[in-house]
Amino acid sequence: MTSLPMIQIASDAPIGSAPLRRAAMPPRHLADLDLPGRQAVIAELGEPAFRAKQISTHYFGRLVRDPERMTDLPAASRDRITEALLPNLLTPVREVACDDGATRKALWRLHDGALVESVLMGYPDRVTVCISSQAGCGMACPFCATGQAGLTRNLSTAEIVDQAVHLAGVAASGAVAGSPPRLSHVVFMGMGEPLANYSRVVAAVRRLCAPAPEGLGLSQRHVTVSTVGLVPAMRRLAEEGLSVTLALSLHAPDDELRDELVPVNQRWKVAEVLDAAWHYAERTGRRVSIEYAMIRDVNDQPWRADLLGRLLAGRLTHVNLIPLNPTPGSRWDASPKPVEREFVRRLRAAGVSTTVRDTRGRDIDGACGQLAAATVAP
């Protein structure tokens, strides 16, 4: 294969091409704007500037979006301000829980009918949400459910942030038994390729990490951006002055196989994508996560573990092996446990820090690569 016929990019694309279609972006929301931007909107409404902080405190600080509960705002201002800055972006279609309530998947309908999913995962010491950056995905990885349906559109900054804010509210309500009530971690591992929606994703990261009331006040170190390996965007991200974790979905150490598993590899090869990862590690001091789905008899051979070990040895990195979640109609299955253990053993023998990811949410189709809201009948 020498061309990229299946890969679709909407905008902000490092691959130069015209947008596929006019995206139906949602109405403006306060999470699209920094605090001065919100103050400008407030001024246009003829309201005093401090109302920007008040409305931001409700949304980001108290996780309140219902105007009735904003009792520090005069009734007339409440409606005007919420109309201008807090339009409803995500309508819950369905929420399902599993793992004794510690994992919850939310399916949202966007203003134009597009569907996206997010997952909330509670652990004894932290609460993580996995959020989507696009409706659908254009990267066409054949083992990923989202990749099969193609790209619908980029999400706006606020549509991305609002997933985390909604689920932070669920956590704060005490719904996740045995976990802290405060959302602490966000991973961009839901639907979509975050770096193909670059500027909105970076703005979303800034909003998630800005202290309240400007943002949600998460630590940048607790945010992970996962990518198929869009090299120019990875290099650009290294210059943003952010200390978020970069996760690279490698899935194969050799170009022949990676060309198939991660089709964008036809454009940026393993050596190039790893160079960009090491550049990111150098610029930020952050350990890069290498994601590797273990697919039976496809990428799990001992020689591939050894090759991967040689490529990663001595680098600031950590390997996350993900047991493949078979997707409907897929010809692939997860590697058997003994094969997985041998793969781990060889990587560790090469001096590479390696763990196997737990598979939360499998029975609600909320696990890695199973988020395919477009195919779910609401």
Interface with ligand SAH (CB under 6 A)? 139, 141, 143-144, 189, 193, 226-228, 249, 291, 293, 322, 324-325, 327, 368-369
**Buried b / exposed e along 171-195 (16+ C-beta atoms within 10 A):** bbeebbeebeeebbbbbbbbbbbbb
137 is in an annotated binding site: yes
Do 370 and 143 meet the contact criterion of CB atoms below 8 Å apart? no
Q: Can 368 be counted among the known catalytic residues? A: yes
Distance separating alpha carbons of residues 174 and 326, to the nearest angstrom: 32
How big is the chain, counted in residues?
378
Per the annotation, the verdict on 342 as an active-site residue is: no
| Both structure tokens of 145 | 């459910």
The one catalytic residue in 47, 214, 291, 368 is 368
Query: Cβ of residue 288: shortest distance to ligand SAH, in angstroms?
Result: 12
**Nearest approach, Cβ of 260 to ligand SAH (angstroms)?**
13
Q: Is 217 annotated as a binding residue?
A: no
State which residue, 42 or 293, has the beta carbon closest to ligand SAH: 293
Lookup result for tokens 């195919």: 375
Q: How far is the CB of 49 from ligand SAH (least distance, A)?
A: 39
- How many CB atoms sit inside 10 A of residue 269's CB? 16
The position carrying tokens 């970076």 is 202
**What is the closest distance, in whole angstroms, from the C-beta atom of residue 247 to ligand SAH in the complex?**
6
Q: Which is nearer to ligand SAH, 41 or 189 (CB)?
A: 189
Measured in degrees and rounded to the nearest 5, phi and psi for residue 369 equal 75, 0
Which of these is catalytic: 117, 214, 260, 291? 117
> Closest-CB residue for ligand SAH?
369
List the end-to-end C-alpha distance of the chain, in Å, as a whole number: 37
Residue type, 183: L
44 is in an annotated binding site: no
For ligand SAH, which is the closer residue by CB, 70 or 368?
A: 368
For ligand SAH, the closer of residues 108 and 332 by Cβ is 332
| 192 carries a ligand binding annotation | yes
Report the distance separating Cα 312 and Cα 293, nearest Å. Answer: 16
Query: Is 193 annotated among the ligand-binding residues?
Result: yes
Cα–Cα distance, 108 to 131 (Å, whole number): 11
- Enumerate the known binding-site residues for [4Fe-4S] cluster: 137, 141, 144
Residue positions forming the annotated binding site: 137, 141, 144, 192-193, 226, 249-251, 325
Residues tagged active-site: 117, 368
